[in-house]
Structure 1
């Protein structure tokens, strides 16, 4: 099966049936919709669950610790995509990776739904981290498989797929993060997240054969029998080693939340660096593919900067919504978790506009590097905006919620310039032998960003928020200018890919 050509895979997928796109987009759209419903619903209340007092149904952690853990959680979720991409490329293909990942995610949410201790919280983290690593990069990779590389619908298809992601992310905070759940029991919300993932699994299994054809069934670079034996041995040794290390370091006080945060920060930078080097040096990578990998490096760095700002919407801005924002607004008692719906809401509204715009512009649209530069510009401006109310009214007064609304809106403009375009560019720039793993590398930019954020968020406080937002926003704007100036050179390394 690994020798099936890309053209044959595309031919096996019904090419019409979902808004003028391949029918398989329906299956992938709604599978990812339910997975994102479960993940973002859980994430909308997770920070509050960590730092609310035990008497309020929380774990009673400090605000700083909760912010760092939240960032590390997000980093590990995306970092685990390396494992998911490798397993799909070398062992069982993307379709099976999606199914196995969904099972683990559902079990993770069930673990959170059971009232327990901090230990149960960490068990759920492990399950959701591994499950998302299996599912998320491979769903996106299959989207790339159902289009030919020359199909003009490709970028628009990824934008529609991206809208499905954000439709789930938009609905879930209103349901899972409602005032009723926040005031009654966080575990009810986590149970809702588990149900969402279950529905996604059912839909995927029922529709994949008819809609996806051969997409997701091939193994791009299968292991030989001898390699499988070695891999099994390595996995067993690694599990035993990790168990021994934890058994020694935790009682000795060496493995703490702080030290773990630092360790993940090193991994966040080290793993993508190693990945780039291995793919670049691999004999399975052609000269043309190496050139495209060089072009991918500045795009990756830009992506890290962008996500470092965007992902603070679920950490710093989530805390800002709870502690610095007027929640009684226009006669409505707002839940702080509802602000998590703003980002996906704006994407739902604007994604069709951007998809239409790219198709309408055709060959006249900005190049991929130029789109990334625009993404960084808007991200930087979003942090410049959120420092204004603190500058005008000080750190002691509550802020009008419309400032948060405007901040989320501006960063979404950047996200639509960068994220769906990055997904599409990754599938086109990826070496053939590393297709799923290159998609994992794209998600590692988010992992690196959140690993960095785990260190950065420690410096935030209402007293220094102007400096905090101003420095980070300013760096992003400067990088956007530099990337725009370098765009023609980067484009030349892409060897015909726009």
Structure 2
């Protein structure tokens, strides 16, 4: 988007009306609240749905396979953000991308809510993957459009927006986790209702609150380019369909092959993306320097999400199989633990937002905040290995240990995720604004692709080694990033 268009968009948005922030933050706050309600509500019970026996309402898949599918699903959800960001940048703008994405997500959850077989399950997964790819990166990009580049409210605004995400993420597992005791499909139905409510908020408030934010196509395709893209897209669909039709019955396209393929894509796609952005004629010299600064932040983000996202796989399984679920006279659903990170962020997000404003120019730099996040992520895994070390690997452990691990990694998330969202909008080349936001979420996709392989090494016997190696790797990377922070900051060319 050109500087002129950025100014036009900024001036069209009412700049007061939501806790001292642009009025459009209300629309995006509640749209994302309900979208995240649907996503985290579904995610909290999905892995249990896959590996629980059919007699208990599940699909009866092998537990190791279920953990890998859960990880690769997370990778695909965020990998599809590249397509969603590109479509917003080149075809119809971020506002329409959010709307279309919400529709697909809602129908995906409706499909999950209908009792069926694995075929219907995978159809629902495809719909949610495509819908999230359209909605997730683009709603965050619209938040960035509402602020000028040097607006001091920017980081605080993203923190408030992020708190909306976590309000939805906190409530949803409590509801769907309770519902899964009756029926998994009832829980998925609540997720569908959540996305429907999010669409209503967006449709009825965007015109008044968002102005031109999200309506301008930054880098539109020419008519000739549209024809070329349509041909490539159509041919790709045909080729994929033919390959699947031939390879699946022959046994060449198995889950393991597919998971390995997505793992390669998780590393290859961001690498190619950085090369394209850096070499583009539309990228200025200052923007190229900022792209270089973004690379170590991206790597740090991948390491952080490798640990964080295991909260929905390894730690979910840990809650189900290794944790004492009768506590203080209450029977705890294993899905309820998925609410803890969001609860901690709701509590501490205002503290961090206040802290960054209070510190002003004295606050840690962006790379330093990332290094703190990596340190905390590593410590969260070190903490969870302690009960096994102290009491042995056979006895059930107190849920307090799991809660403490979630607390530590959640504090790390507050040092990385809202800061990373804000930094991405600052460091993005103008011609790649929405696509660079997709690249930020691609770090989560890369983490999911890595986790799809890593989770295979987890078992009750390897538990201590598993948590120790991964946690230790994060701590080492934290130290390296902290030492490199001044150099990285110099490449940001004035961005803090």
Aligned: 1:189 with 2:157: no
- TM-score when scaled to structure 1? 0.99
CA apart distance, 1:274: 0.6
**What is the DSSP-based 3-state SS (H/G/I as helix, E as strand, rest coil) of the residue aligned with 2:462?**
helix
Cα distance in 2 for residues equivalent to 1:3 and 1:88: 18
Match in the other structure for 2:23: 23
Mapped to 1, the partners of 2:352 and 2:182 lie a distance apart of 40
Matches within 5 A, 1:143-158: 143-158=143-158
Aligned equivalent of 2:85: 85
| Matched residue, 2:439 | 441
Q: Deviations over 1:72-107 (max 9, x none)?
A: 000000000000000000000000000000000000
Deviations 1:131-189 (A, max 9, x none): 000000000000000000110000000000000000000000000111xx222210011
* 2:131 equivalent in structure 1: 131
Please state how far the C-alpha of 1:3 moved relative to its aligned partner: 8.4
Aligned residue in 1 for 2:379? 381
1:420 is aligned to 2:418: yes
Aligned mates of 1:61, 1:392 — CA distance in 2: 33
What is the match of residue 271 of structure 1? 269
Q: Map of 1:331-342 to 2, 5 A cutoff?
A: 331-342=329-340
* Cα shift readout 1:330-377 (whole Å, capped 9, x = no counterpart): 000000000000000000000000000000000000000000000000
Q: Any residues of structure 2 matched to 1:197-236 within 5 Å, and which?
A: 197-236=195-234
Q: Residue 476 of structure 1 aligns with which residue?
A: 474
Give the deviation of 1:2 after TM superposition: 7.7
Q: Residue 134 of structure 1 aligns to a residue in which SS?
A: helix
Any conservation in 1 of the 2:180–2:186 contact (CA below 8 Å)? no
Are the aligned partners of 2:381 and 2:470 in contact in 1 as well (CA < 8 Å)?
A: yes
- Partners of 2:181 and 2:356 lie apart in 1 by 44
Q: 1:2 to 1:105 in 2, by over 3 A?
A: farther
Counterpart residue number, 2:401:
403
Distance 1:234 1:194 in 2: 33
Tell me the SS of whatever aligns to 1:495: coil
The reply to whether residue 356 of structure 1 matches residue 354 of structure 2 is yes
The TM-score, its normalising length taken from structure 2, stands at 0.99
Shift of 1:4: 5.2
Query: How many angstroms apart in 2 are the aligned matches of 1:71 and 1:89?
Result: 28
1:463 alignment partner in structure 2:
461
Contact preservation (8 Å) 2:305, 2:444: yes
Q: Over residues 239-275 of structure 1, what are the superposed CA-to-partner deviations in whole Å (9 max), with x where a residue is unaligned?
A: 1111101100110011111111101000000000011
Aligned 8 A contact 1:2 1:222 in 2: no
Unaligned runs of 5+ in 2: none
Partner residue, 1:43 = 43
For the residue of structure 1 that corresponds to 2:159, the secondary structure is helix
1:372 aligned to 370, 373, 389, which one?
370
Q: Residues of 1 paired with 2:23 and 2:396: CA distance?
A: 49
- Mapped to 1, the partners of 2:3 and 2:382 lie a distance apart of 51
* 4+ residue segments displaced more than 3 Å: 1-4
Q: Cα–Cα, structure 1 residues 59 and 195, in superposed 2: closer, same or farther, change >3 Å? A: same
Q: What SS does structure 2 have at the residue aligned with 1:463? A: coil
In the alignment, is the contact (CA less than 8 A) between 2:380 and 2:405 conserved in 1? Answer: yes
CA–CA separation in structure 1 for the residues paired with 2:7 and 2:349? 28
Q: Name the counterpart of 2:142.
A: 142
Secondary structure, aligned partner of 2:476: helix
Compute the RMSD of aligned alpha carbons. Answer: 0.8
Cα distance, 1:393 vs structure 2: 1.1
Residue equivalent to 2:112: 112
* Counterpart among 489, 494, 497 of residue 495 in structure 2: 497
Cα distance in 2 for partners of 1:120, 1:254 equals 22
Question: When the two structures are aligned, how many residues end up with a matched partner?
Answer: 496
Write the distance in 2 (CA, Å) between the matches of 1:182 and 1:254.
35
Rounded to whole Å, the distance in 1 between the matches of 2:254 and 2:187 is 28
2:135 counterpart SS class: helix
Gaps of 5+ in 1: none
| Alpha-carbon separation, structure 2, partners of 1:252 and 1:271 | 28
Q: Distance in 1 between matches of 2:180 and 2:284?
A: 54
Aligned partners of 1:304 and 1:445 also within 8 Å:
yes
- Alignment correspondent of 1:250: 248
User: CA offset at residue 431 of structure 1?
Assistant: 0.2
